[in-house]
Amino acid sequence: MTMSFRWLSPLLATPFLLAACGGGNEPAATQTQTAPVPEPEAAVVGVEPGYGGNLIIGSIGEPVIFNDLYSQDVPSGDISDLIYAALTTSNENLEVIPDIAIGEPDISEDGLQWTFDMKEGVLFHDGVELTAHDVVFTYSIFLDEDYTGPRAGSFTSLENIEALSDYQVRFTLSEPDARFATLTGYGILPRHLLEDIPVAELGEYQAFNIDQPIGAGPFRFVSWTSGQNLVLEAFEDYHGGRPYLDRVTFRFVQDLNAMVLLLGQGEVDYATGIPPEELPTVESFDNVNVHSTLALRYDFLGYNLRNPLFQDKRVRQALTHAIDRQEIVDTVMEGNATVAHAPVSPLSWAYNDDVPVFDFDPERAKALLAEAGWTPGDDGIMQKDGERFSFEILSNDGNNVRRDLGIIVQQQLAGIGIEVTPRQMEWGAFLDRILAPNFDFDATILAWGLALDPDPSAIWHSREIEQGLNNIGYSSPVVDALAESNIRIMDQDERAAELAKVWAELAEDQPYTFMWYPLQFVGLNQRVQGFVHHPRSDMHSVSSLWIAE
Amino acid sequence: MVSYLIRRSLSMIPILIGISVISFSIMYLAPGKPAVMNLDPTISAEARSRQLSALGLDDPAPIQYIKWLGAALKGDFGVSYIRKRPVSKMITERLPATLLLMGSSLFLASIIAIPMGILSAHKQYTPLDYGITTGSFLGIAVPDFWLGLMLIMLFSVNLGWTPVGGIATLGGDFSVLDRLHHLILPTIVLATGSMAALTRYTRSSMLEVLHQDYIRTARAKGFRESKVVMKHGFRNGLIPVITLFGLLLPTLVGGSVIVEKLFSWPGLGLLFIDATFQRDYPVIMALVMLGAVLTVIGNLVADLLYAMVDPRIEY
């Protein structure tokens, strides 16, 4: 069984915790380390894209709200991706590319002013033109003191936004922020429909957010029947050209087994998040292709650094040395992942594998423990100053990969005289224990879904210890300084070089034992053509899909 | 009778208040916070507290309870933290699907189980009785999710006779036939478990009656066996079974999480389980109270029915 709710929308600029297990079942040899390579289409050679047809997308969760300013869940974000247009979007290589903007933004010398030129003639679904004033309207909401949505923290450096003309908009920042490009992907709201709604009430304004959202995206909202389905239809006047599909129907399926069956029956055309254990079944269907790519995430075993057991760097390195991660990837993940050594995804432009590596080496682990003052006690468990090396690994239930990982780590650490108790809890109760203000855990198995921008601040800066995502309490002056300086560097190559120092520092410190980068899998009916697998946005290529007869 | 009804109705009030206090406390004491409180961690403390106060989550728990009770008494069950929609609307949207599924499975279970129970009791210790008994135990033992998956494999995947899940054909217009088509499998799965229990219940209740003196008397009078069993036996044997129906009333709306999940049936069970995982307090409380009210009413109905079928009982 897989818990399938993720916590926050992939749109979010900060990383988010993942409850579900990822990964899949393709042989590891098909992965590349640098960029996702879409599998070759089983395309009908020489067939031109044709208009028409209804694409049925299977969705495990039901959406909540169709408004990027307030949505926090994956289904809402997916559907909003189709309804709304934004200044920018990202391509399958995770590069920020223009949507209704034209070309790259013009960034001032000091990095404070970002000016975007916009396409003319972009229409909302109700026929009104989308102009710079709508962009200003949308982004001003983030700055409003009455805005309490989930994105408030992302725009702290945004000072002002103004329309220079109907088709030119300028963002002014209070400090240079290289991450800002990835914040320009929020769906633009129609000012003419919403300007009379007080910002404090906007999140609750159902008539727009739920009943009739109007955007300028490739598909317009038609209907939503709770618990059953949601229908979108092609927007004829879409600025990128009318989509090939006539309709997109989200079918709400509550159970992954049922989802797999529906895929085989042809009642669902496109299903994401196929769990590895279902892959043999899905691959056995004659009418379905399986596509895979690395997910923009990594799984890890994190140590609570408040616990005296884990405060010595050598001890943490020893723990990693004692865990055979390649073996775990080959067994628990059935080879559908790559061993991770640093908190950055190979998909990112900031990836750098020049970091200290702690491969499986129990002898080295024992030597490091001895160096740190740990000696075997009478019961075979390591001891120091009368304290036994014994701790609990917490993870969330409903996730078999994490359960198995906990058990294997228990066995492998027993090999160097460390006692581990794996334990699983319900997701909500688990979060309550591991996050502020409780921090009541020794070690946890978790995964980060990463943001488009590789900035490490949200997870690793020491200011995030009390309230933020740095729940293990990691504090390093070197990382803090680099986290603050890297976002001021506008040149991507220079910034990558700075970030490489962060990855090396974190790998050396081993606050986590970095586990793996998992593959993710989708099933797609063979009648659907033109698919491009985006590692982060499942709706990326929907507007250019077509149905082969 | 009327004074009894009034007395019983009045006694429901403290019971329901007690249930609401206990459920509210348990909900608050359970670990985990409403999922909406897991905001972007970089959000300012001030914005965070504004959001909490907008949801009423910054009050102490007793105050929150009193506010909830005051609104609930007026029929206002609040707005879902997650979906930002009125809870009563979310429930009424889902209620028909659950009622339909549970009603039809209860109906199917009764029309099969009651005759089987009678037959089993009447032919006690015959191969027929053993057959029915074995079948009942199988029905009780088979897990819902397994049976459901097997039926889907056989009838939906291999034979293609029934849809894999859902309540209606995608994009189709509503038709009774289409609805029944989608209803068949989940109804069978749900009915199997309750059918088995109901058969055993009817059987034991009938056995007790069939060994009574008045049945022997009826037989001695030379009545036909069918008349003895149906008229003298069944009517008396039915009394405890009726109680069971009263107690089943809350399960009618409780739905079955497993079957609803398996068949993607958009009912209340799914709503409840989602709300629980997300700690969506208003939804949890409304559904708990709905269950509580129906349980209390179910008990009352059972008692009233008792008096109706059994002249010895008077209130």
The three state secondary structure string of A20-85 is CCCCCCCCHHHCCCCCCCCCCCCCCCCCCCCCCCEEEEEECCCCCCCCCCCCCCHHHHHHHHHHCC
Burial class of residue B42 (count of CB atoms within 10 Å of its CB; 0-12, 13-18, 19+): buried
Contact B91, B271 (CB under 8 A): yes
Instruction: Using CB atoms, pick whichever of B36, B41, B54 lies closest to residue A464.
Output: B41
What is the pLDDT at residue A293? 94
What is the pLDDT at residue A38? 40
B41·A56 Cβ contact <8 A: no
Q: What is the mean pLDDT of residues B86-96?
A: 91
């906007």: which residue's tokens? A202
B171 touches chain A (CB under 8 A): yes
What is the pLDDT at residue A21? 41
Tokens for B15?
């019971």
What is the pLDDT at residue A11? 41
Residue of B nearest to A13 (CA): B40
Least confident of A34-38, B146-150, B258-262: A34-38
- The minimum CA-CA distance between B245 and chain A, rounded to whole Å, is 29
pLDDT at B38 over 80: no
A468 touches chain B (CB under 8 A): yes
A203 touches chain B (CB under 8 A): yes
Among candidate residues A389, A394, A403, A377, the one with its CA nearest the CA of residue A21: A403
Show the DSSP H helices in A112-236 as ranges.
132-143, 191-194, 199-202, 206
Question: What is the rounded CA–CA span in Å between residue A41 and residue A413?
Answer: 44
Question: What is the rounded CA–CA span in Å between residue B201 and residue A470?
Answer: 58
pLDDT at B223 over 80: yes
Query: What does the DSSP assignment read for A252-279?
Result: E-S-HHHHHHHHHHTS-SEEE---GGGH
A229 touches chain B (CB under 8 A): yes
CA dihedral A476, A478, A481, A486 (to 10 degrees): -120
- The minimum CA-CA distance between B39 and chain A, rounded to whole Å, is 6
Contacts of A8 in chain B (CB under 8 A): 40
Question: What is the rounded CA–CA span in Å between residue A228 and residue A246?
Answer: 20
In chain B, the N- to C-terminal Cα span, in Å, equals: 5
A152·B152 Cβ contact <8 A: no
Contacts of B262 in chain A (CB under 8 A): 254-255, 257-258
A156 touches chain B (CB under 8 A): yes
Query: What does the DSSP assignment read for A398-448?
Result: SBHHHHHHHHHHHHHHHTTT-EEEEEEE-HHHHHHHHSTTT---SEEEEEE
Instruction: Using CB atoms, pick whichever of A203, A229, A255 lies closest to residue B170.
Output: A229
B41·A468 Cβ contact <8 A: yes
A226 touches chain B (CB under 8 A): yes
Residue of B nearest to A146 (CA): B47
Question: What is the rounded CA–CA span in Å between residue A513 and residue A405?
Answer: 12
Query: What does the DSSP assignment read for A115-138?
Result: EEEE-SS-B-TTSPBP-HHHHHHH
Q: Are strands A419-425 and A390-396 parallel, antiparallel or unpaired?
A: parallel
> 3-state class of B257 per DSSP?
helix
Residue of A nearest to B161 (CA): A265
Burial class of residue A272 (count of CB atoms within 10 Å of its CB; 0-12, 13-18, 19+): buried
Choose the mutation target among B26, B29, B80, B84 for the interface with A, i.e. most A CBs under 10 Å.
Answer: B84
- The minimum CA-CA distance between B95 and chain A, rounded to whole Å, is 12
Q: What is the mean pLDDT of residues B27-32?
A: 85
What is the pLDDT at residue B308? 78
Instruction: Using CB atoms, pick whichever of B153, B163, B264 lies closest to residue A252.
Output: B264
Low-confidence ranges of chain A (pLDDT < 70): 1-15, 19-47
What is the pLDDT at residue A523? 96
What is the pLDDT at residue A134? 97
Residue of A nearest to B42 (CA): A153
Choose the mutation target among B42, B46, B85 for the interface with A, i.e. most A CBs under 10 Å.
Answer: B42
Work out the percent of chain B whose per-residue pLDDT is above 90: 30
Question: What is the rounded CA–CA span in Å between residue B117 and residue B128?
Answer: 11
ipTM of the complex: 0.80
Q: Which CA distances in Å does A488 have to A78, A89, A177?
A: 31, 22, 5
DSSP character at residue A450: P
A431·B32 Cβ contact <8 A: yes
pLDDT in tens, B194-211: 888 889 889 999 999 888
Contacts of A455 in chain B (CB under 8 A): none
B181 touches chain A (CB under 8 A): no
At A65, give phi and psi (nearest 5°): -155, 140
CB proximity under 8 Å: A 308-337 to B: none
Question: What is the rounded CA–CA span in Å between residue B45 and residue A298?
Answer: 29
Peptide bond into A518 cis (omega under 30): no
Contacts of A429 in chain B (CB under 8 A): 30-32
- The minimum CA-CA distance between A428 and chain B, rounded to whole Å, is 5
Contacts of B270 in chain A (CB under 8 A): 227, 254
What is the pLDDT at residue B42? 55
pLDDT in tens, B76-87: 999 888 888 899
A248 touches chain B (CB under 8 A): no
What is the pLDDT at residue A5? 33
How many interface pairs between A and B have CB atoms less than 8 angstroms apart?
138
What is the pLDDT at residue B108? 93
Contacts of A60 in chain B (CB under 8 A): none
Work out the percent of chain B whose per-residue pLDDT is above 70: 96
Q: Which CATH class is domain B91-309?
A: mainly alpha
Instruction: Using CB atoms, pick whichever of A154, A229, A255 lies closest to residue B42.
Output: A154
pLDDT in tens, B171-196: 777 888 899 999 999 999 999 888 88
CB proximity under 8 Å: B 217-276 to A: 260-267, 270
What order of strands is seen across the sheet that includes strand A375-376? A375-376, A382-384, A387-388
Instruction: Using CB atoms, pick whichever of A14, A65, A433 lies closest to residue B84.
Output: A65
Contacts of B260 in chain A (CB under 8 A): 254
B40·A210 Cβ contact <8 A: no
> 3-state class of A304 per DSSP?
coil
Tokens for B92?
């009424």
Contacts of A64 in chain B (CB under 8 A): 82-84
CB proximity under 8 Å: A 7-26 to B: 7-8, 12, 14
Residue of A nearest to B258 (CA): A255
Question: What is the rounded CA–CA span in Å between residue A44 and residue A145?
Answer: 54
B164·A254 Cβ contact <8 A: no
Contacts of A432 in chain B (CB under 8 A): 31-33
Q: What is the distance of C-alpha B27 from the center of its chain?
A: 21
Q: What is the mean pLDDT of residues B249-272?
A: 83
What is the pLDDT at residue A342? 95
What is the pLDDT at residue A23? 32
Residue of B nearest to A73 (CA): B82
Choose the mutation target among A5, A226, A471 for the interface with B, i.e. most B CBs under 10 Å.
Answer: A226
Residue ranges of domains in chain B? 2-73, 91-309
Contact A459, A469 (CB under 8 A): yes
Instruction: Using CB atoms, pick whichever of B44, B90, B265 lies closest to residue A152.
Output: B44
- The minimum CA-CA distance between A239 and chain B, rounded to whole Å, is 28
